[in-house]
């Protein structure tokens, strides 16, 4: 545990016990992530999109906490915390002769501090970080300071990584099962040029499935793909006309207004119109049925 010297690290037995149990729960290792990177000014991103300082030193290296578990007589709840590196010959802190260990990270560590908890020095450092005012979500975090440190939850990270791999496998398997017609339909739905060859379309869709598997899986499990593809095909075949400035959707033949969708936001008009057809009630259902019929007729005429 932290070395208690004079006024330094004189924690209450109850707080010490609480900290030691927490650290035992981390297992053999614990990792902390330091929010110290900056965007790379070199837009070629030769060294990555973010860069880290050559040396980062956590400050303050000496700080005070309020030990609310302190109930010993004649003991203050205010505690001064520091990693003791050197003390004078009398065993007490001495001016000039007394040094503190500072927590430092090199750029090669990419903001990650890994501690081996079977090493006493690393265990002490772990305890000091758990008490530090810049630990995000820590018992003694100071909300008025930038919470630069976050403990990495190894179990949670493992669960997330497993799910991401599972999602990626599921997404790629779905693409593998698509025939050419399905590739065309999906491409229309997401705005790819569906006139490209089967190999090109499959590659584009696989790239999307790999890059954002969760979004891809959500997209294909519902009715969105079918409706979005239908909208794209109806616009391409001049069955529907969309006016982007005012967001008006009309039948091309008679110029009759179907609906108005908001021109604002980041979603494409295909997604917005499909959302209307999916949730717009009886009128939207009738439009959807008519669209299916007209698109099918156009396809037959072109065959």
Is position 70 within any domain?
A: yes
Is the same domain home to 148 and 49?
Answer: yes
Is position 166 within any domain?
A: no
pLDDT score recorded for residue 43: 66
Q: Which of 248, 292, 238, 296 lies closest to 269 in space, CA to CA?
A: 248
Q: Which of 129, 152, 175 is the last residue of a domain?
A: 152
pLDDT score recorded for residue 97: 54
Low-confidence stretches of the chain (pLDDT beneath 70): 1, 43-47, 87-98, 299-303
Instruction: Name the 3-class secondary structure at 190.
Output: helix
Interval 120-136: pLDDT, tens: 999 999 999 999 999 99
Is position 256 within any domain?
A: yes
pLDDT score recorded for residue 68: 95
pLDDT score recorded for residue 2: 82
Q: Which of 132, 152, 172 is the last residue of a domain?
A: 152
Is position 198 within any domain?
A: no
Q: Are 191 and 169 in contact (CB under 8 A)?
A: no
Is the same domain home to 123 and 26?
Answer: yes
Is the same domain home to 129 and 243?
Answer: no
pLDDT score recorded for residue 112: 94
Is position 106 within any domain?
A: yes
Is position 202 within any domain?
A: no
pLDDT score recorded for residue 218: 87
Could you say which DSSP state residue 109 is in? Answer: G
Is position 6 within any domain?
A: no
Q: Which of 53, 248, 29, 59 lies closest to 148 in space, CA to CA?
A: 59
What is the edge-to-edge ordering of all strands in the sheet holding 149-152?
112-116, 29-34, 149-152
**Is the overall model pTM greater than 0.85, yes or no?**
no
Is the same domain home to 119 and 231?
Answer: no
* Total domains, the chain: 2
pLDDT score recorded for residue 45: 60
Query: Residue 299 sits in which domain range?
Result: 223-303
Q: Are 280 and 261 in contact (CB under 8 A)?
A: no
Is position 197 within any domain?
A: no
Q: Which of 152, 176, 208 is the last residue of a domain?
A: 152
């Amino acid at each position: 545990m932290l070395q208690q010297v004079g006024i330094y690290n004189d924690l209450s037995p109850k707080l010490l016990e609480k900290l030691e149990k927490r650290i035992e729960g981390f297992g053999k290792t614990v990792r902390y992530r330091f929010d110290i990177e900056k965007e790379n000014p070199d837009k070629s991103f030769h060294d990555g999109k973010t860069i880290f300082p050559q040396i980062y030193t956590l400050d303050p290296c000496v700080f005070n906490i309020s030990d609310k578990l302190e109930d010993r007589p004649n003991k203050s709840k205010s505690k001064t915390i520091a990693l003791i590196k050197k003390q004078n010959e009398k065993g007490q802190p001495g001016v000039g002769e007394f040094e503190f260990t500072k927590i430092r990270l090199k750029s090669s560590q990419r903001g990650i501090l890994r501690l081996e908890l079977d090493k006493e020095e690393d265990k002490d450092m772990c305890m000091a970080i758990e008490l530090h005012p810049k630990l995000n979500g820590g018992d003694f975090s100071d909300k008025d300071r930038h919470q630069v440190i976050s403990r990495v939850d190894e179990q949670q990270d493992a669960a997330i990584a497993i799910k991401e791999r599972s999602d990626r496998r599921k997404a790629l398997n779905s693409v593998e099962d698509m025939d050419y017609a399905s590739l065309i339909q999906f491409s229309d739905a997401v705005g790819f040029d569906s006139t490209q060859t089967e190999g090109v379309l499959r590659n584009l869709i696989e790239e999307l499935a790999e890059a954002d598997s969760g979004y891809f899986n959500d997209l294909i499990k519902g009715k969105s793909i079918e409706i979005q593809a239908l909208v794209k095909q109806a616009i391409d075949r001049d069955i529907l006309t969309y006016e982007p400035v005012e967001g008006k959707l009309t039948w091309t033949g008679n110029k009759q207004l179907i609906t108005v969708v908001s021109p604002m936001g980041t979603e494409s008009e295909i997604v917005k119109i499909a959302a209307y057809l999916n949730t717009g009630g009886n009128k939207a259902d009738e439009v959807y049925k008519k669209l299916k019929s007209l698109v099918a007729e156009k396809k037959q005429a072109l065959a």
